[in-house]
Chain A
Amino acid sequence: MLIKSSIIWRMIAWFLLMALIPLGAVTIFVQRQVNQTVLDVELQAAVREARLHAAESAHHPDAFEEHTQIYQGTEEVAFILGTDSTYLAHTDPQKIGASAKNDFTPDILQTFFSADSGSLDNGDAGQIIGYAAIPGQDSVMVIVKDNQAIQNTLDSLSRSIFLQLSVILLITSIVSGVAILAVINPLRTLANFADQIGSGNLDATIDQTDLEGEIAVLAGSLASMTARLRDLINNLESKVEERTHDLEIAAQELKRTDLMKSQFLASMSHELRTPLNSIINFTQLISMGVAGPVTDEQMTMLNTSLGSSRHLLQLINDVLDISKIQAGKLSLYIEENVNLNEEIKAVVDMAEPLLQKQNAALEQPIRFVQDIDRDLPLTACDRRRFRQVLLNLLSNAIKFTGQGSITLSVKKKEEEFIFAVMDTGPGIAKEMQARIFEPFVQATSDIKHTQGTGLGLPISRSLVEAHGGELWVESNMGEGTTFFFTLPFRSPVMHSKEITQ
């Protein structure tokens, strides 16, 4: 508070400084005017005195001495000058008979005799001179006054006026300063209070006991406003806390649900597979004759049972895959130096029995054409997932092709492998071409062809994309279908580079 009010004192100092400059100028101007006026008055007085004494001296020529002697002990000097510039009478008796040429310049001496009477300001010597010719005689009465003494008196008077004015000014300034402080201090208290509120300290209080009038009213309003603000904010904070808590609970619940879903899928996968695996293996054992001879009819039924069971197992695997993909939890198991030629051969070996089975029911067997680059370079990929994609496309082609051919083409072009599975089947309508990549959508409702999960293509596309490749279809109705997919070539060198990065 004390520190802050120093600005008031600084303002007072400035005010004083600004006021003193014109005050000084005015004082100097007034002093000059007064000096001039006093000079004029003194000059006239000198003439008057000189005339008076000259007139007197004319009547009493024998009393010359008296007229000059009366100035003894004063700051004035009187003398009577003869035409030869010698002192006929003088306030200082020793000068009588001496020449005035030692005391005055010839110009001045000449002036004394040039007119009946007059006055002159002999500024060089600080003298005011009045002179008058003594009537009927050839002599001049001269009164010399010391101007310096008068000037000194005037100067001291000016100084005293200036000093008094300054003191009055100073007192006025201090009094106004104190008065301003008396108003400003409560305002400053209010400002401090407002500052504290502004900076977020809503618990700030204001001492209203010293405040009066409008300022007290203002302080009261400010205090009640702060209280309302505090209530509002506290309310808001508790509301935000409440909502945040709700959100946290919801997030935890969501996490828990997600975990439960994952656990459910994992355990469902195990619980479903265990009995299914038993069914598959028991059926296999029976069909192998382990439990006794099997008739042809029984064998057909056992094979059907085996096929259905495997289909069911595939369905479970696909549902698990798609749920992982949708949960963003699909991860690849990338192996280095995968020989694609070997992997392709393994897939073809798996697909060929399907084709043979299909051809057995056809008059004109479907031709299977392979156009595969030899010696494809080793690359890094998830072998199992790669096989899954290629097998899915090949088995789809076999499933949907009734005549003609199926062509598998694999080429390495620049930094990627391009796979194409082309069939001469019915083709896929344009409007269906995007939809077949959605889960559980199939291009045909033909019962013969519905033996699938409707998940193969979306899973395959996700698997290819996870490898950094693309999977797409090109087809025209009646002209067959070609599925393409690309796999980025990742050479062992490139891959180790990636790791070091």
Chain B
Amino acid sequence: MNPQKPILVYVEDDENSIFIMKMVVERVMKLPTLYVLQSRADFVQQVKGLGVMPDVFLLDIQMKPYDGVELLSMLRKDPQFKCSKVIALTASVTNEEVSLLKSGGFDGAIAKPLNIEVFPDLIARIINGEQVWYIA
């Protein structure tokens, strides 16, 4: 793992959000690429098909057919990704949802709309092993 050039995987079904995240990662954070995967049953195969080991998974919560919580459990079932850092991206930060995400095994959550100014710092903190709940 190269802490200077972390590998980020993003799962999202909204085209605009994907575009924004690409801009943030490639233009603002100046990383080589953002890996975008789709919410599908073969999610784990898609990850393995990347050929690289991701540093951070960014999962949207409100997605179809599989939401972020379901994708996380798919990922955690594979021993290879048992300790991967997985962050939830969510627009509706209700108290119930936060406690659900915490108990569901996420390493953190970041509220949407993204605060682009602090986002690179949040990713750095996550890679350093910190839990980040940037929701208020």
Contact = CB atoms under 8 A, between A and B. Distances in A.
B98 to A, nearest CB: 6
A274 B136 CA distance: 17
Interface string B115-134: 01100000000000000000
A280 B24 CA distance: 13
B14 A290 contact: no
Contacts of A269: 91-92
A281 B92 contact: no
A285 B95 contact: no
B46 interface: no
Interface stretch (A20-28, A297-305, A382-390): A382-390
A387 B136 contact: yes
B133 to A, nearest CB: 10
Interface stretch (B15-23, B37-45, B70-78): B15-23
A274 B17 contact: yes
Interface string A277-314: 11011101100101000000000000000000000010
Interface residues of A, number: 24
A313 B114 CA distance: 13
B113 A290 contact: no
A174 to B, nearest CB: 88
A290 B136 CA distance: 26
B14 A274 contact: yes
A273 B136 contact: no
B41 to A, nearest CB: 23
B20 A288 contact: no
A276 to B, nearest CB: 7
Contacts of A290: 23, 27-28
Contacts of A387: 136
B99 interface: yes
Contacts of A284: 113, 116-117
Contacts of B17: 274, 277-278
Contacts of B14: 274, 278
A269 B98 CA distance: 16
Given A333-B99, A384-B135, A277 B91 contact: yes
B136 A276 contact: no
Contacts of B99: 333
B61 to A, nearest CB: 10
Contacts of A276: 113
A383 B17 CA distance: 28
B110 to A, nearest CB: 12
B21 to A, nearest CB: 9
B33 interface: no
Contacts of A331: 95-96
Given A284-B116, A384-B135, A278 B16 contact: yes
Contacts of A282: 16, 20
A270 B95 CA distance: 16
Interface string A387-422: 100000000000000000000000000000000000
Contacts of A275: 16
A175 interface: no
A163 interface: no
A150 interface: no
A21 B98 CA distance: 99
B64 to A, nearest CB: 11
B62 interface: yes
A383 B91 contact: no
A270 B114 CA distance: 15
Given A273-B91, A281-B113, A333-B98, 18 more contacts: A269-B92, A273-B112, A274-B16, A274-B91, A276-B113, A277-B91, A278-B20, A280-B113, A281-B116, A282-B20, A285-B24, A285-B27, A288-B116, A290-B23, A290-B28, A313-B113, A382-B95, A387-B136
Interface of B: 14, 16-17, 20, 23-24, 27-28, 62, 91-93, 95-96, 98-99, 112-114, 116-117, 135-136
Interface of A: 266, 269-270, 273-278, 280-282, 284-285, 288, 290, 313, 331-333, 382-384, 387
23 contacts: A266-B92, A269-B92, A270-B91, A270-B92, A275-B16, A280-B113, A281-B20, A281-B114, A282-B16, A284-B117, A285-B24, A285-B27, A285-B116, A288-B116, A331-B95, A331-B96, A333-B96, A333-B98, A383-B136, A384-B93, A384-B135, A384-B136, A387-B136
